[in-house]
Amino acid sequence: MEPRKRNQTRASIPFRAVVAGFAGIAVVLMALAWPAPARAITEIDITRGNVEPLPIAVSDLAGRSEVERNLGADIAEVVAADLERSGLFRPIDRRAFQQKPEDMQVMPRFVDWRQINAQALVTGNLTSQPDDQIKAEFRLWDVFAEKHMVGMALSTPRENWRRVAHLIADAIYRRLTGEKGYFDTRIVYIAETGPADKRIKRLAIMDQDGANHRFLTDGQHLVLTPRFSPTLQEITYLSYFDNKPRVYIYNIDTGKQEVLGDFPGMTFAPRFSPDGNKVIMSLATDGNSDIYVMDLRTREARRLTHHPAIETGPSYSPDESEIIFESDRSGRQQIYIMNADGGDVRRISFGEGRYATPVWSPRGDWIAFTKSLKGTFYIGVIRPDGSGERLVAKGFLTEGPTWAPNGRVIMFFRETRGSDGGGRVRLFSVDFTGMNEREVITPTDASDPAWSPLIP
């Protein structure tokens, strides 16, 4: 008994000592680790900023010869115009520039650019290459951080210089906003000429900034609702060739066009699927319109809606899992959404007035539509779940919204009533937030615009 007891005592003494030791160490550690007289680091929250266009200086591209310098200046001008048109940038008047393009080959003198309040600076140079090629290099600088942000060199045949400019503008836009650009794109639309009773409608195409305009059809047959393929330089549209309204496909590069499927009735309101492999459209038979999808590889058509009401204006979601369309099944035109196989139809628009021509944005977050209410037409956007409806443009007749490939900008057409009764129809673009509306200059009256994807 005795020894055991002693053992116990012996054992308990070191244990206590250990505990005490640990406690002591802990106290010392805590004392050391405790933030000295606890001065918290000062923290400041900034919750408001300005949403003004970013001041940017686009310097001419430097060149060694007169020709190079001229072209360098032209490119800079197109870049600045692209950026300005987006509404997100404010190119600074080049007369304020203090440093010449030639002096910035290595590194700009940032002080000079800060002085004129430029937050970003574009420099570059242009050199002629053999075979009438040019090489354009550019660099984007953060003036305040004195940092190089992005740079690129592009070689191309000389006549392609505008595309070079658009590509540079896209790179700048992308770097400064985080969003894909949309300047290297084209627009197809319906060019309209002649008096109202003898209107000639031709398919026309131009760069997003209005340059390189040309007509694709000669106006003999009525054409309507052109839509760009999201992947190829192809257009689908409705033509009254031989007075039979049919959906056609037109290849811009080859000029070839073909009718899409031989249906018993009239096909209209075509639109490509995001992968470019299908065309979704309406088919009217016996006074009833329903939505069909045709696979361009197999040429097989499938019917998606079965309803006695008029279903039309279909548009795929970017992931092709769903389709939005308009229907008057409730008595008035409204926007509906359904699964890509035609199941689970839900209505998403519940406002007053009539909703038509829904178009899903390539970014997926918004749907643009046309709305008519009390004699006025609007272009609006709404979320795919039916929330957040906002009207971004209005007019006596505004219609036909189409999205820029980055899902930021909407183009549409607007008809204004002339005093003599003759209307004027023009294209307009507007940021989907409702800001920055601009007219898109076209040589003739214009309707039904369709924005191309970025040119591959």
Partner 1 sequence: MRQAAIISAFGHLLLVAVGYFGIPALREEPLLSERVIIVEMVAITEERNLPQTVIDDTEPEEPKTAEQPPPPPPEPPEPEPEVVTLPEPEPELAAEPEPEPVETVSLPKEVKRPRGKPKPKPKPDPFADVLKSVEELEKKRQTREPDDDAKTTPPDIDPIEQALAQANTPFSDSIPLSMSEIDNIRYQIQRNWSLPAGARDAQNMVVTLRIQLNPDGTVTGVSVLNESRMRSDPFFRAMAESTVRAVLKTDRIKNLSPEKYDLWRDMRINFDPREMFS
Interacting positions 34-73 with partner 1 (CB under 8 A): 39-54
DSSP annotation of 79 reads H
Interface residue with partner 1 among 121, 296, 348, 404 (CB under 8 A) is 348
Sheet of strand 257-259: strand arrangement: 223-228, 234-239, 246-251, 257-259
Provide the minimum distance between the beta carbon of 48 and partner 1 in the complex, in angstroms, as a whole number.
5
Give the integer Cα–Cα distance in Å for 128 and 57. Answer: 24
Is 185 within 8 Å of 455 (Cβ atoms)? yes
Task: Give the SS3 label for residue 236.
Answer: strand
Segment contacting partner 1 (CB under 8 A): 24-32, 81-89, 195-203, 290-298?
Answer: 81-89
Is 228 within 8 Å of 451 (Cβ atoms)? yes
Residue linked to tokens 């209209």: 268
162 lies in the site for partner 1, by CB under 8 A:
no
Give the integer Cα–Cα distance in Å for 54 and 135. Answer: 28
Which CB, 188 or 393, lies closer to partner 1? 393
Interface residue with partner 1 among 3, 195, 418, 456 (CB under 8 A) is 418
- Binders of partner 1 among residues 316 to 345 (CB under 8 A) are 317, 319, 321-322, 337
- Binders of partner 1 among residues 205 to 224 (CB under 8 A) are none
Give the integer Cα–Cα distance in Å for 298 and 21. Answer: 83
Interface residue with partner 1 among 135, 175, 213, 329 (CB under 8 A) is 175
287 lies in the site for partner 1, by CB under 8 A:
no
Tell me the two tokens of residue 304: 């998606």
Say what the alpha-carbon torsion angle 204, 209, 211, 216 is, to the nearest 10 degrees: -10
378 lies in the site for partner 1, by CB under 8 A:
yes
Measured N-to-C along each axis, helices 161-177 and 66-85 cross at an angle, to the nearest 10 degrees, of 50
- Binders of partner 1 among residues 258 to 277 (CB under 8 A) are none
74 lies in the site for partner 1, by CB under 8 A:
no
Interface residue with partner 1 among 19, 299, 424, 443 (CB under 8 A) is 424
- Binders of partner 1 among residues 391 to 410 (CB under 8 A) are 391-396, 398, 408
- Binders of partner 1 among residues 353 to 372 (CB under 8 A) are 363-366
Provide the minimum distance between the beta carbon of 268 and partner 1 in the complex, in angstroms, as a whole number.
27
Provide the minimum distance between the beta carbon of 76 and partner 1 in the complex, in angstroms, as a whole number.
14
Segment contacting partner 1 (CB under 8 A): 131-139, 230-238, 264-272, 412-420?
Answer: 412-420
Segment contacting partner 1 (CB under 8 A): 10-18, 84-92, 222-230, 252-260?
Answer: 84-92
Task: Give the SS3 label for residue 212.
Answer: coil
Q: How many residues bind partner 1 (CB under 8 A)?
A: 82
Give the integer Cα–Cα distance in Å for 335 and 342. Answer: 15
CA distances from 251 to 46, 167, 260 (A): 52, 23, 13
Segment contacting partner 1 (CB under 8 A): 64-72, 128-136, 303-311, 435-443?
Answer: 435-443
